[in-house]
Chains A and B, each alone.
Chain A
Amino acid sequence: MRSEPVVQLTSVVKRYGSKTAVDGLDLEAAAGITAVLGPNGAGKTTTIETCEGYRKPDAGTVRVLGLDPVGQAAELRPRIGVMLQSGGVYSGARADEMLRHVAKLHAHPLDVDALIERLGLGSCGRTTYRRLSGGQQQRLALALAVVGRPELVFLDEPTAGLDPQARRATWDLVRELRADGVSVILTTHHMDEAEQLADDVAIIDAGRVIAQGSPEQLCKGGAENTLRFSGRPGLDIASLLKALPMDTQAAELTPGSYRVTGTVDPQLLATVTTWCAQHGVMPDRISVERHTLEDVFLELTGKELRG
């Protein structure tokens, strides 16, 4: 059974003066984690801010948890959590004070002390917001988004500028949210973030969704995947091809160095190793080059993601 979409945008248009930031965008996000992926200037933030009620679309309809974010803001606001890209905190407030204050605006907030502990904000002590490190400010922004126990959380570039360890800690928290039934919409321009976290990925370019699906689905289409291995030179390629599925190709690139291209899945790997075993070949240095989201993106847009 497919549940109601948490976010539904239909033919949404948003212009700033003569610049069209969002250009007839359709997007449906189901419960779970949805990543909105795209290069800088693709319209990610505008799309998210339309869902949050900050921007009124020039055309099209937006529904978040079934509500209009502008017209039914009072009803929607308590049910969502928002992490802004930066700022949002009184410059003279300490991290714990700000978190406690926002908790007071909610009926059933999380335990603030436990959240501070969980996000490693305890060490901030008496430091005011403006003197926190970038990573600490980022973690506080995340805490502010979840403290009210929302059903749906919007995270705008949640790990931008974080070191690898802090990124992983943020990913862990996002996964915990999902496990506890909180839906997450996040924007990112990190492919690995989308691949690691998302159930569903929407690729945005020039204000439109140009592809959507699970990371696996997106990676299956387009360019082929590759499996390479080394063995004794002069293996019988024709025999190998007979064992492989129809659409697969195989070649000996240099003596003893083989390449198989096609749909690389566990079955294909097993077929290749089984064939090698039957022919008394010890395949060395087996490597699999799977098609990544990065490749998909490059094919769809002709652009590098960051640039």
Chain B
Amino acid sequence: MSTGTYSPKPGAAPMGRMITAQALFETKMLLRNGEQLLLTVVIPSLLLVLFSSVDIIDTGSGKSVDFLAPGILALAVMSTAFTGQAISTGFERRYGVLKRLGTSPLPRWALMTAKTLSVLVIEVLQIALLTAIAFALGWSPQGNPFAVVLLLILGTAAFSGLGLLMAGTLKAEATLAAANLVFLLLLVGGGVIVPLDKFPDAAQNVLGLLPISALSDGLRDVLQHGAGMPWGNLAILAVWAVLGLGAAARFFRWE
């Protein structure tokens, strides 16, 4: 390099370009990570195929794929917005990536916007894949697509808040363990593949308030039973979103 190579010429790239670059880079990192793909793609796909074709769980009247597909879509949202985001952000914090980006021209709000965009991109890919598999298994969804999109967005907001709260407060290793454990518990107890009415009444009342139950139940009301706006479930998700994102904004530590 010749003289003058390093002559100062500072400047931030335009905001739109920075956010796009950051979102694409984070998406690339997530798609390259094997453990993340196991969680976000392989497990939901396997569960959908397995429980739709083998009659292990009593999913009530009708085709089992009609019961399972909405639950698996809810699981896909949880795996990306909560588990995946908590683990990746937790390790970014641990490895000083968040600190490093803190002195780059990218403001923190823009970093969080890029993370959200990256989560949405992965969700679109997941939903496209899982919908294709469900159709191949004979799925016949009903209902209002707008209600479905609203549920997915509020669900993403609720899970993102909780995932970021965990990533921003716990140690990366603790986040890794806890996020996987919560994923497993909510997979079983959140109406994803096991109908909530299989649980005792008292347990049902509590489990029904979980974000995963509100999301899977709401999606099922619309997609399986053709219901209108599932206001109750939307309200539960909205409360989780406000609490989770509020707590994350308050308690998140960047280092």
Q: Which residues of A contact B (CB under 8 A)?
A: 52-54, 74, 77-80, 82, 84, 86-93, 97, 101-102, 104-108, 110, 114-115, 118, 144, 146, 148-151, 176-177, 179-182
Pick the 5 closest A-B CB pairs, nearest first: A88-B100, A107-B11, A87-B96, A180-B6, A151-B8
Contact partners of A52 in chain B: CB under 8 A: 103
The 8 A CB mask of B85-117 against A (1 = contact, 0 = none) is 000000110011101101111110000000000
B91-146: which residues lie under 8 A (CB-CB) from chain A?
91-92, 95-97, 99-100, 102-107
Given known contacts A74-B107, A77-B105, A90-B92, A105 and B13 CB-to-CB distance under 8 angstroms: yes
Given known contacts A74-B107, A104-B18, A106-B105, A149 and B100 CB-to-CB distance under 8 angstroms: no
Contact partners of B200 in chain A: CB under 8 A: none
Q: Are B12 and A150 within 8 A (Cβ)?
A: no
- Of A88, A144, A149, which one neighbours B7 at CB under 8 angstroms? A149
- Of A80, A93, A182, which one neighbours B103 at CB under 8 angstroms? A80
Q: Are B12 and A144 within 8 A (Cβ)?
A: no
Q: Are B99 and A148 within 8 A (Cβ)?
A: no
Q: Are B6 and A114 within 8 A (Cβ)?
A: no
- Of B4, B10, B96, B97, which one neighbours A78 at CB under 8 angstroms? B10
Q: Does B5 contact A (CB under 8 A)?
A: yes
Q: Are A180 and B102 within 8 A (Cβ)?
A: no
Q: Does B250 contact A (CB under 8 A)?
A: no
Q: Are B11 and A77 within 8 A (Cβ)?
A: no
Q: Are B103 and A108 within 8 A (Cβ)?
A: no
Q: Are B96 and A86 within 8 A (Cβ)?
A: yes
Contact partners of B107 in chain A: CB under 8 A: 74
Given known contacts A104-B21, A107-B12, A118-B1, A82 and B103 CB-to-CB distance under 8 angstroms: yes
Q: Are B3 and A179 within 8 A (Cβ)?
A: yes
Given known contacts A92-B33, A180-B3, A87 and B97 CB-to-CB distance under 8 angstroms: yes
Bound Cα distance from A49 to B22, whole angstroms: 24
Q: How many B residues touch A, CB cutoff 8 Å?
A: 35
- Of A90, A102, A105, which one neighbours B29 at CB under 8 angstroms? A90
Scoring B29, B32, B91, B104 by chain A CB atoms within 10 A of each residue's CB, the highest score goes to B104
Q: Does B251 contact A (CB under 8 A)?
A: no
Contact partners of A74 in chain B: CB under 8 A: 107
Q: Are B97 and A77 within 8 A (Cβ)?
A: no
B1-50: which residues lie under 8 A (CB-CB) from chain A?
1, 3-14, 17-18, 21-22, 25, 29, 32-33
Given known contacts A78-B105, A89-B97, A118-B1, A105 and B18 CB-to-CB distance under 8 angstroms: yes
Q: Are B95 and A149 within 8 A (Cβ)?
A: no
Bound Cα distance from A30 to B128, whole angstroms: 58
Given known contacts A92-B29, A182-B6, A84 and B96 CB-to-CB distance under 8 angstroms: yes
Bound Cα distance from A88 to B92, whole angstroms: 8
Given known contacts A84-B100, A89-B95, A92-B29, A104 and B6 CB-to-CB distance under 8 angstroms: no
Contact partners of A102 in chain B: CB under 8 A: 104
Q: Are B5 and A110 within 8 A (Cβ)?
A: yes
Q: Are B5 and A105 within 8 A (Cβ)?
A: no
